[in-house]
Structure 1
């Protein structure tokens, strides 16, 4: 029976508040391989688990119990203690965001966790850690180098480098991480908007030098895997990526139709807001969810391809 890797997106966003310890517990109960989550940096240099550059207006309430405005201070303008004061356990009723996750069960009192706390809560599971920087809005976060340093330091404190993969849409983060800790596996995230503005997001890489083929650009970074938006992935790209030694982990695979398509294509795993439904689909397809430890297999020789088309094997 084939193993198939399953990762809960932001914990299990479709079932529990995103990027919270409660959500991580729910993801674990679904029998996942591991969990994907996001990291920002506080003004005092603490890595915090949160997706947006600010506490999200769709679910963050201040100490007075009011949902925050869209211009709430940025994470990197607040201390870790400040950020721990937000309650992020309940979606804003009536918002479009809440409508997307009707099965999410509130957990009032859930807080923005530190990365250290998240790593402790996720002990034994594989980790997909997305570092949130925005090259089109550099003032919104700490620098890619500072972010990479903070995440890697936390991984070392938890002895978790070997079970983690660092994800980023901003490929500068991956370059910085490779320089700091070469043993940490890295994954290039892509979506249509970041590819369209490749000069910003792809660390200056010109897709034209690779005949527009993103999988060759990913391989040229020395990354170990590629995480495309599932709806844009086609079979030719998948086969090319896998032939280049890349693991392919599409993200936000949430519907029966999307599960079926990804499983039919033969991706290496998927990241889902509904790991409960994804697990059911995987098992119905005659496969089983890979046990934690899948990440340890993302360590093959990765072909590095230059713009001239030359190829050499590069140790990850």
Structure 2
């Protein structure tokens, strides 16, 4: 595999995140990978959503009123209930709206199912684009999603039924889900997400609830070595946590390094110069531009309407 140009949540700086309009835009533009997040509804449907519940900054009810925090967990709603919410326009007075002030609203947009995304890709005729699917599970909030094994079993069932197994990578901050993926679908690549700043999910001196019992202290305090021991094929750190030495160490272990979420051209260029294998970005349009300037072959677009 060459450089992996990934559209984060379909490219949420441009169009509503994790929606068919965003994914259609990314496919039309040309990306290597559609990055997305999934949850499972009360009736077992795998839906595309970054949040474990309805996001009060995104979801409006049938009256056009944004839901009140914290938003009902998807696992407690049936698909037909989820369908009643419009996620095509950011709540205007929110911090999210300030962060992505140029996002084009698409009122009337619904939370899609994973099957609908696969159908859109088939419609586009794109036989090469891949999927980087994140399981939205928080080990500290077990009531807000299916248990890890049940979640993975349901997700893999949809992927296999739709015949996309050879084009999917599963990523997660909750490494328990990745362990189950490796058991149930050993040929499917797993990407171990890490965050070492702010609300960190990993520590170098101990296991955390996120790391499925794996303790970097037993692996020289090295995240790449810990992920290799866990059976991962990709290390996916926050881009602010990587150095040339860490990337070299990961490569020496046979791991690919895909960083998130890089939106500024200078940072994109710096990551490419450091030798990362891929970048996840809210601005796939800018990433195409920077990658092209760095001599990276760009994926062809396959124009499609949602």
**TM superposition score normalised by structure 1:** 0.89
In 1, the alpha carbon distance for the partners of 2:207 and 2:32 equals: 31
TM superposition shift of 1:291:
6.4
Q: Which runs of 5+ in 2 are unaligned?
A: 302-306
1:99 corresponding residue in structure 2:
98
1:179 maps to what in 2? 183
Q: Distance in 1 between matches of 2:230 and 2:5?
A: 25
Instruction: Answer yes or no: is 1:207 the counterpart of 2:216.
Output: yes
Does 2:82 correspond to 1:83? yes
Offset of 1:148 from its aligned partner?
A: 0.6
Matches of 1:64 and 1:229 in 2, distance apart?
A: 38
Do residues 247 (structure 1) and 251 (structure 2) align?
A: no
Partner deviation per Cα, 1:27-75 (whole Å, 9 max, x = no partner): 1122101200000010111111101111111111112210011132110
* Match runs of 1:1-316 below 5 Å: 3-123=2-122, 124=127, 125-192=129-196, 193-196=200-203, 198-290=207-299
Any idea what SS the aligned residue of 1:130 has? Answer: strand
Name segments (4+ residues, structure 1) moved above 4 Å: none
- Distance in 1, matches of 2:244 and 2:168, equals 27
Q: How many Å separate the matches in 1 of 2:184 and 2:257? A: 24
Aligned counterparts of 2:44 and 2:185: Cα–Cα separation in 1: 19
Counterpart Cα distance in 2 of 1:3 and 1:157 = 28
Structure 1 unaligned blocks of 5 or more: 293-316
What do the CA deviations read for 1:245-304 (whole angstroms, capped 9, x no partner)? 111110111101211111110111111000000000001112222569xxxxxxxxxxxx
Match of 1:299 in 2: none
Contact kept? 2:29, 2:300, Cα under 8 Å: no
Aligned partners of 1:3, 1:174: CA distance in 2, in Å? 23
